Structure 1
């Protein structure tokens, strides 16, 4: 069961996973050793899946976001496994979701420019059969982040 201190620790780690245990302990009014034990318990409990560095997309040369909307005529396990293999091998595809509605999958693709989308599109369609693919270019990011709400965790 998580308490308010655990939730605050999780919020702090989401903001900056590089924070020292001493800095976190100070923020949550715990000793360093008690805070360290809590962080270890949260990690062992699976609340912290991993710690990563979030890179600046502009400095990395991929400021453009394209959402590819995919329809498929095939829905068997073999096709899905192959589709997963194909998209996993393309680093520009940073998210993939199977969705309800008029399309089957949505891919979030980060690129140097909109023109580079054709390269990724060809990598996909050369390897796997799709019924229809359309794309939307993001004009502006209104909200972006990796932080999850911590108030629902028990």
Structure 2
């Protein structure tokens, strides 16, 4: 493994036990190795070794706590749809830098079709969204920006189907 550059992920074939471990960790990353091992029929040490291998291969990229947005004052989710006439590499770098440094921005996606970019953000309220919008348009020129506000979250998960 030492001969690979650090930015290259090593491809790993997942077996059924790896998939069960990952399913459990996606639901509760704080699960103790003893309990996780018991759930997937492995010893604590074998479970630990598999998790370390999954981390080394980049399958597990990080472990986080998922917060309730309402509890931290960020009850409004907004999808910001952007169309632009600028497609030069320097504009894209400016856009990337702007969106990566705005904490309310949770996800930014370059899209196919009529829409160029989609931003997913969390804000407290409409006034907070306006402040986010103002920061964004001051940092990067945009030709068309529209927003849709989530009225009800029917399903929102980080769990990948394995």
TM-score by length of 1: 0.94
Return the offset for 1:130: 0.7
Report what 2:136 is aligned to. Answer: 124
Match 2:39 to one of 27, 35, 44: 27
Deviations 1:93-126 (A, max 9, x none): 1111110122211111101112321111100111
The answer to whether residue 112 in structure 2 is matched with residue 100 in structure 1 is yes
Q: Does structure 2 retain, via aligned residues, the 8 Å contact 1:69–1:103?
A: yes
Structure 1 residues not aligned, in runs of 5+: none
CA–CA distance in structure 1, aligned partners of residues 44 and 152 of structure 2: 42
Report what 1:112 is aligned to. Answer: 124
Question: Structure 1 segments of 4 or more deviating over 3 A?
Answer: none
Report what 2:72 is aligned to. Answer: 60
Matches within 5 A, 1:11-90: 11-90=23-102
CA–CA distance in structure 2, aligned partners of residues 20 and 114 of structure 1: 41
Report the 3-state secondary structure (helix = DSSP H, G, I; strand = E; otherwise coil) of the residue aligned with 2:14.
coil
CA–CA distance in structure 1, aligned partners of residues 101 and 54 of structure 2: 31
Structure 2 residues not aligned, in runs of 5+: 1-12
The answer to whether residue 157 in structure 2 is matched with residue 145 in structure 1 is yes
CA–CA distance in structure 2, aligned partners of residues 83 and 104 of structure 1: 12
Q: Does structure 2 retain, via aligned residues, the 8 Å contact 1:96–1:108?
A: yes
Q: Does structure 2 retain, via aligned residues, the 8 Å contact 1:114–1:137?
A: no
| Larger relative contact order (CA 8 Å, sep ≥ 6) | 1
